[in-house]
Chains A and B, each alone.
Chain A
């Protein structure tokens, strides 16, 4: 097999609060696809960012093609043929594809037409069909990713690192990407791809490196393993999914009703078009779809951050289209937002203050304008215990907790605020499997209490595991509402991509 393309030896990296990588060694051979598998926070991205020069390492060595190198910046990495595609793309949305690709590699006068021709040729060689002359902001996410890949190809990359490349893609787009990875590696290049999805790993990887808590747990060849064994390695324990109790017919009372709700920004395009559905107590209603297709707007309209521009919204029979957020909180709508850093918590406040965030008008916590601290602190400690938040107590700073623990605290707060309706917007995104498991159990518990639950998720497995009914969103519209079990993954994939189905939506 000759000299390995990349060799990392005993790399250790510490951040101020955590050890991200401890004594990590791994080898990538030419022509090989390596999958870096692990839960979020296992240190997969960190080790690759060290290889790409975004982070410095504290200890260890990097060898490229047998030669020890110092990689201090992405420029160093690129000059050695290493490229990395970040989870969040680094494209300038107002620039065209061609401009984005040559960015940083041109000087002086730029004959843009010549570049476009040249790039089109490269794109065709790899079977990519991307318009070179349109601003990338107007392109679909899948297209944008192709541009990121072209950027790497343009600088003659032989070692391509991809961080969670399929997170934003539809199943079909993922298949195309997998095909590309296979072809690219077949030409003698190396690919490292970071993921937590077992299915992809089993499909394309030659070598699988499993990481947990910053260390390499095991390295296996694909032929020698299976999904169950990998899952066990990743988590270190077996996970029992919560038993889903199918509610059958919607026997509960009606809690939430959308009536032809549309929403558009001022002078913007319509983000929601004619959404109608009814949600009953004791039911989990799932919204599936690629992220950014209007799910966030549905949640915003329920929580009151945005007001519908047309249509009406009923909560327990009352029209709440125009009521304030404060009134909705008081009425018993709990909301776990997708971005807890932005919407869910105040990171440099204590846990108790974060709990108070949803209760600062509640007589329960406020006495004549003063905060009832003792009561609040006690309640916060109760949430911490009940939801197994790893924290020493109410006085911990929210920012000092790990993502999973922050989410558990938000969850604990919201299930008490939302006495009748709970809205979860991708509640398990970016969390380790232990936390995911805990959150799923809590959602099931709340369902058993006859609360109405809306669950937005981009993970189909989560949707299938949890929901009674499923709506598929594409481009601000419901592609249909189905009972769980009516659709196969394949069919949902097509609906998520916006392909209309002939069959009438069963209500």
Chain B
């Protein structure tokens, strides 16, 4: 019943956020109801557009899982962007080197492991800095993104640069290295299915295994966990390793699933969106799937709105909407807490009187 309550509050908050956002359209001098109606119509009537929602959601599921995972250990990995880029670098390098050499299945498996490992190395270093030197993981993970970004730019200018050596980008990979499409008529690729499976696995890991239990125990009460013989430092490193690996997997889905090449400013904001989405989902891996789809949808809605003829709505309005929705959800947590407390208290008083 409590879980149902959380869901109800979340849906309510999202709805309120969307209504407030719709009202903002009034400032642009357009009729919100008709604009939203048109936009929704356009998205829902076209299978391709619906597919795009899932395509956009795929990397967000991974980056939000990355944040949610360390969040359970009361650690903050805000460097998912950097771990994602490192995963992308390894994904493109492996794909370019091995495409047409090994069979597609084997190649994709290698890229999967490679991008996970790449993200995990970046994450693990942050975790190690935290465990060994009590470095502030917040700062280290944030700055690690800049390091990786510049490392990527360096590679794009040197060893990974396209054969034409004109732009800062790599060659496109051959179609044998693509993630297979799973919904004909759209761009939805196997990566989406992978993301959903991984989210479920992460849920199982956190709730059903000894390791997951240790991570949660350290997050909630490191002192009591320590007396249970749990090594909090090791848990910190492991949590960051897995978290980084999850973000790295987004490299696979974006390189082999969508973009098919690596270029400058590649998906520059999926790391930060991941943080918001994880908070929206209250750190629940399953919730991350749905929250990511919501954000994928908002994203497509923004682009579609911007393309509505004769209205000149800036596509950036969607960032505003995303922000408002997120604030509403966070407020709803506080509201729920307050309401539950109050009703409990009223019940007690009735029982006491």
Contact = CB atoms under 8 A, between A and B. Distances in A.
B59 to A, nearest CB: 29
Given A15-B345, A356-B213, A337 B227 contact: yes
Given A14-B345, A18-B348, A349-B220, A369 B209 contact: yes
Contacts of A15: 345, 348
Which size bracket describes the interface of B in this complex? 20 to 34
Interface residues of A, number: 39
Contacts of B345: 14-16
A348 B223 CA distance: 14
Contacts of B225: 346, 357
A205 to B, nearest CB: 29
B230 interface: yes
A193 interface: no
B228 interface: yes
Contact of B213 (A12, A335, A371): A371
B352 interface: yes
Interface string B214-228: 101100110111111
A102 interface: no
Nearest to A354: B224
A58 B349 contact: yes
Contacts of B231: 324, 326
Contact of A371 (B209, B226, B229, B349): B209
Interface stretch (A105-113, A153-161, A358-366, A427-435): A358-366
Given A349-B216, A349-B220, A17 B348 contact: yes
Given A16-B345, A370-B210, A371-B209, A22 B230 contact: no
B319 interface: no
B131 to A, nearest CB: 16
Contact of A14 (B210, B214, B227, B348): B348
A424 to B, nearest CB: 14
Contact of A16 (B221, B344, B351): B344
Nearest to A340: B224
B224 A343 contact: yes
A19 B344 CA distance: 11
A19 B227 contact: no
Contact of B208 (A16, A18, A326, A371): A371
B341 interface: yes
B198 interface: no
Contacts of B210: 360-361, 366, 369-371
Which among B213, B221, B224 has the highest number of chain A CB atoms within 10 Å?
B224
Most buried by A among B217, B228, B344: B228
Interface in A343-357: 343-349, 353, 356-357
B211 interface: yes
A344 B229 CA distance: 12
Contact of A325 (B211, B213, B216, B227): B227
A405 interface: no
Interface string A6-26: 000000101111110010000
14 contacts: A14-B348, A14-B349, A16-B348, A19-B348, A329-B229, A335-B227, A342-B224, A346-B217, A347-B220, A357-B224, A357-B228, A361-B229, A366-B210, A371-B210
Interface of A: 12, 14-19, 22, 58, 303, 305, 324-330, 335, 337, 342-349, 353, 356-358, 360-361, 366, 369-371, 373
Interface of B: 208-211, 213-214, 216-217, 220-221, 223-231, 341, 344-345, 348-349, 351-352
- Going nearest first, the 6 A-B pairs with the smallest beta carbon separation are A326-B229, A19-B352, A357-B228, A346-B221, A16-B341, A366-B210
